[in-house]
Structure 1
């Protein structure tokens, strides 16, 4: 990756990057403010009630110990997709520094000061607001700054649940081995974290009462300024303006979101890899071209998250694969031709999930196994049966989903009597890097992956036809079709338009040539005269 390529990407994709940055800022600001509003009162509460302190801190510590991705996955069935679970997750992970520092700051105050305040007749409320909170403020603000900076990084995970943000660029870049895209998301996130820390450091200085500062030399230099009534008035004005701007920013965001939501909206979803991002953008573009409805893109979702979102009617349209639905959702094994599988899946999801499977796009994106050309040639491996003879000498690096799916590694090992030396699972393009670096000798892939062409890999033949047909087709909620019956004809415009060779080329444009999924999708539709 060269500096010129990075700069060119920033220039050409500046609108997208700024949009994702704005989403990231809004999500982070909301999460931080809510974490403060919850954490500070909770810290005050446990500082005064020692009997419950260890239980509250224990629960918060347990939350911190749970992996953030796992916690986010647990929240999706309860809170759905979008900004809500992302904000909720960040709030929970931000509470510990705020709660603990608030409690420590208050309980660490010299008891003599509290006794003196009580002796002159101050009420507990007056002691809290006039003595304890001002004295504890530097410690509290230290916890807030830690939480605020951490929140910026944690919010990148919001991309997994369709909330947008800079994580979309980071994870899309990982999926496609696009370091430029990764940096385009990571660098603004780092800058944002530094800005957040700087802002809160200034708020800490301005908000800390006169005489309470840990930097004695600085205090001595500015003591006169702190005592100046004009400075105090200016400080209060700064705090007021900053608060007003934050509230205005959030209010405007909520207003535009509400205005958007009041209109007829169709939500298009996709899974979290290149092909799905391309197809998701294609259907979104078609809907924008042929309807006047608002089209919301909830792309880059996990496989399970996307299906659950379709069932819960939080996503209206997505592309899925007949084999995936048959084996993973219906828990059945393929029986009959690809048309038999398609018709069976269509009937089943219509009856059991209130979803409708529309016409197939035309390509079969089945699972396959791939190796480097020289390794396959050395062992004369062309088929899965050939691989089985040497599997105990090789390390397999599959995706996490493939390792755990019934139609993935467990069934494959049984069908071909494979026994790999080791299995090192990793998602996205990382497994391709493991292959080319020699850390692994075999990976799983989709037959239409552009990365297969990019890395010039040997695709092995499934000589026992273990994998079922994975024909891609749009899945739509029946409710949305009943409400907008014209959608079926619009979505079926892609029927039969994309074969395996075409899909490989489209994926290759993203994975190797560095084009964005949005551009590849749009250019294809224009080329096919499906949009202008």
Structure 2
């Protein structure tokens, strides 16, 4: 414990930098996943014939070992943050894509017909009916992906991307428990705080009618 306290006292600035670096890598990967997976999930509800194939393919990619994905991007993108973000982006896809597809696909068809009867265009129905009603399911996928990626981002240190993984793996190599704890505890706190904040965001984005129905149950 004394060794840990001494390390924290001497390296607090570096610890903050590594924590921000770790969060930055994870956040960019999640945002890329949101930008790609959610529109793709909505699009797949329009072409259910290929939805199973696409989701299955993404699921197969999810089974690849994390280090193998990181190593795959080294010849293409070199080392550093860019290949780490690319690899984490691929890992973020499945929960968000699958949840978006399930959430939108499960919307009551009568509501969609009502929107169509009101003269809404396809884009207006997506924006005003489908996405708001599917928010709880979609956000569940985003929260799962984000928590996973914050943990997996520790592996990014293997390819020079930095982050809190540097402390963890240096601690393992040097038999320094203080370094392992200095890396592992902030990762855990980042995951918990981010999940809490995303939960609050989900609550604000969920329509009141859906929240009321959940509370009634």
TM-score (structure 1 length as normaliser): 0.40
Q: What is the deviation of 1:14?
A: 1.2
Give, in whole Å, the separation in 2 of the partners of 1:118 and 1:21.
48
Give, in whole Å, the separation in 2 of the partners of 1:195 and 1:25.
11
Residue 89 (structure 1) aligned with residue 98 (structure 2): no
From 28, 34, 44, the counterpart of 1:46? 44
Structure 2: gaps (5+ residues): none
**Larger relative CO (CA 8 A, sep 6+): 1 or 2?**
2
From 53, 62, 65, the counterpart of 1:64? 62
1:60-80 per-residue CA deviation (whole Å, 9 max, x = no partner) reads 011111001011111101111
Say which SS state the counterpart of residue 109 (structure 1) adopts.
coil
Q: What is the deviation of 1:31?
A: 1.1
Between the two proteins, the alignment pairs up a number of residues equal to 216
Structure 1: gaps (5+ residues): 219-532
Give, in whole Å, the separation in 1 of the partners of 2:216 and 2:176.
49
Structure holding more helix per residue: 2
User: Could you tell me which residue of structure 1 aligns to residue 209 of structure 2?
Assistant: 211
Give, in whole Å, the separation in 1 of the partners of 2:90 and 2:61.
7
Q: What is the deviation of 1:184?
A: 0.4
Give, in whole Å, the separation in 2 of the partners of 1:14 and 1:217.
47
1:66-100 per-residue CA deviation (whole Å, 9 max, x = no partner) reads 00101111110111101011001111001101000
Q: What is the deviation of 1:122?
A: 2.0
Say which SS state the counterpart of residue 34 (structure 1) adopts.
helix
From 93, 99, 102, the counterpart of 2:100? 102
1:254-275 per-residue CA deviation (whole Å, 9 max, x = no partner) reads xxxxxxxxxxxxxxxxxxxxxx
Give, in whole Å, the separation in 1 of the partners of 2:199 and 2:9.
32
Q: What is the deviation of 1:217?
A: 5.2
Give, in whole Å, the separation in 2 of the partners of 1:25 and 1:187.
14
1:96-136 per-residue CA deviation (whole Å, 9 max, x = no partner) reads 01000000000001112222222232221221111111100
From 152, 166, 169, the counterpart of 1:168? 166
Say which SS state the counterpart of residue 208 (structure 2) adopts.
coil
Say which SS state the counterpart of residue 120 (structure 2) adopts.
coil
User: Which contiguous aligned blocks of 4+ residues in structure 1 show a shift greater than 6 angstroms?
Assistant: none
User: Could you tell me which residue of structure 1 aligns to residue 14 of structure 2?
Assistant: 16
TM-score (structure 2 length as normaliser): 0.95
* CA RMSD, Structure 1 to Structure 2 (Å): 1.4
From 180, 184, 188, the counterpart of 2:178? 180
Give, in whole Å, the separation in 2 of the partners of 1:43 and 1:103.
5
1:208-235 per-residue CA deviation (whole Å, 9 max, x = no partner) reads 22222264159xxxxxxxxxxxxxxxxx
Give, in whole Å, the separation in 2 of the partners of 1:142 and 1:128.
19
In structure 2, do the counterparts of structure 1 residues 217 and 6 end up closer, same or farther at CA, with 3 Å as the change threshold?
farther
Give, in whole Å, the separation in 1 of the partners of 2:208 and 2:180.
45
User: Could you tell me which residue of structure 2 aligns to residue 37 of structure 1?
Assistant: 35
Q: What is the deviation of 1:26?
A: 1.3
1:225-244 mapped onto 2 (5 Å cutoff): none
Give, in whole Å, the separation in 2 of the partners of 1:28 and 1:70.
18
Structure holding more strand per residue: 1
Give, in whole Å, the separation in 2 of the partners of 1:208 and 1:146.
17
User: Could you tell me which residue of structure 2 aligns to residue 126 of structure 1?
Assistant: 124
1:377-432 per-residue CA deviation (whole Å, 9 max, x = no partner) reads xxxxxxxxxxxxxxxxxxxxxxxxxxxxxxxxxxxxxxxxxxxxxxxxxxxxxxxx
Give, in whole Å, the separation in 1 of the partners of 2:195 and 2:67.
24
Give, in whole Å, the separation in 2 of the partners of 1:155 and 1:96.
17
